[in-house]
Structure 1
């Protein structure tokens, strides 16, 4: 009969051997360096989160997967990031689906007004929800995760309190969904990526912008607008997308490391520092001389909710055109938001 001590020793030896085999397998994996593209400025709070995410991948892969982050549109314009991930210009790319109207109709539902209350739980919620649709809607890339910024609002040169104030205004919308809202209220859309927005406002090409709070100062937009509606109007959905060929070229062990870092938990983890930054921006803007941060009355808020309600029907038509069930899709998003305590 084998003694308990010998059994323990044998088990320990077996575990050690397995660990050595695992380490050897990692060591034999071909080194991979990932080109990660982020179009926001180098000092943007999203970038350190992406670097921390990559460092965790390096550790989990035994050093066989490393990454280099290229911020500030070094590899290409913000509007092009989905195609950059598809074509291998970047191995990972930070995508704003709303920059390309009509291309991602399901994801567009997440930027409908008055859905999200916060970005932390909201990022986990949108990721869990969109996983059911990403393989079809974003079939050209490997979907890693989705996330949102903290709710944004109108920042403008004149005070906006009612939906009727939008008529005749030129507004840079955050997404195509918000652009449709602006058009329905009688405004004109001015298309510009976040890095281009200050210039548009400075030159008078736009009168207002929809933007999250902290980024107003980060992009210098606080120098050209001074009225800020204090209401969680919308969020912008983003996707961290990977080039399929790069993923397919990896070993099974490396693919698992990537899969383990493309989860709802990582979506929330990556989004959280940015969420804190944007949330803190409200107080900073309010403290600036010459700036007015104002609340809406219950009557004004009710008018906004009524005015934007038709936008969901417009979104639904786009979803139907690609064979989706808009009611089921929106119900699923709202259920996911409720589960993470991020519904408005």
Structure 2
């Protein structure tokens, strides 16, 4: 034993650094926009720094912006489910049909403020839509700011002037909305939008202010119509999700770190970063000389009436649609101050 103890001690000393290193978990975090985007710089990087600090350096991120792991934005969900990425930020609207219940928050005139709507969506998903997240652990669910109509060359003030214009939309329901308003909807992920605007493939785009700087929309469009209403005419749902197997593989200590940095209040915090980014995107547009104007309430009443069939169709076509719609509206109202 006297001979073995020093040998065992020596082996243990050699193994300690290896064992310490083995406790370190690197999370591959993927998304579709460049590092200058709000989500990368103001949400994902701070989140990664926070989980690293709270885990004592045992949880770290390797961030892959701009689809650096390959594929296209609609494939991000499969990348997370298949373990190609451990965490992804994406839009459910990029994969039509996969989130039939939670897309209720994209219906016309449902959402109010960023944070209230984010809290409402988190509660709604936890109760009604977890089946849509099979293989995934939701970390945050939220909506971006009210979408603005950005036009290349033409100021649009009325429904009649919008008629037949080719306008980019982010999701199935926003496509339906534009169609109901008389426009010609063109669905595409946001990374494809700048080239489509530049080449005149589309005449306008439906995006929130915060997306403007990362896509240089302020340089590609001249007229920007804000839609005057207490409730957003349309928004896009967003999710930040983790591969469930990866989460389950973590130690209880590291799971707790993830749990402490996900949920309803984290969703609201993410949404709050979009508020700041919306202001910055609007300021960038002003600085570029763009014309910003508001569709007045009287005209917006016509838009709301034209959009009503989109909600009616969704309720009719969705299982338990009336209850889901009413519950989403009630939750938004509950959290709106």
TM-score relative to the length of structure 1: 0.84
Gaps of at least 5 residues in structure 2 are 1-19
Corresponding residue for residue 198 of structure 1? 194
Corresponding residue for residue 237 of structure 1? 237
Identify which of 137, 142, 152 aligns with 1:142. Answer: 137
Change (3 A) 1:337 1:68: same
Corresponding residue for residue 38 of structure 2? 45
Corresponding residue for residue 49 of structure 2? 55
Residues 102 and 121 in structure 2, CA contact (< 8 A), matched pair in contact too:
no
Corresponding residue for residue 23 of structure 1? none
1:146 CA drift (Å): 0.3
Corresponding residue for residue 315 of structure 2? 316
User: Secondary structure at the residue paired with 1:81?
Assistant: helix
Q: Give the aligned length.
A: 312
Identify which of 105, 126, 131 aligns with 2:126. Answer: 131
CA distance in 2, matches of 1:224, 1:150: 20
Are 2:93 and 1:118 equivalent residues in the alignment? Answer: no
Corresponding residue for residue 259 of structure 2? 259
Corresponding residue for residue 160 of structure 1? 156
User: Secondary structure at the residue paired with 2:33?
Assistant: coil
Corresponding residue for residue 181 of structure 1? 177
User: Secondary structure at the residue paired with 2:187?
Assistant: coil
1:266 CA drift (Å): 0.9
1:126 CA drift (Å): 1.7
CA distance in 2, matches of 1:282, 1:163: 24
Residues 150 and 205 in structure 2, CA contact (< 8 A), matched pair in contact too:
yes
User: Secondary structure at the residue paired with 2:101?
Assistant: helix
1:145 CA drift (Å): 1.6
Gaps of at least 5 residues in structure 1 are 1-26
Identify which of 97, 100, 103 aligns with 1:102. Answer: 97
CA distance in 1, matches of 2:100, 2:279: 28
1:31 CA drift (Å): 2.2
What RMSD in Å do the two structures reach over aligned CA positions?
Answer: 2.1
Q: How does 1:224-303 map to 2 (within 5 A)?
A: 224-231=220-227, 232-289=232-289, 291-303=290-302
TM-score relative to the length of structure 2: 0.86
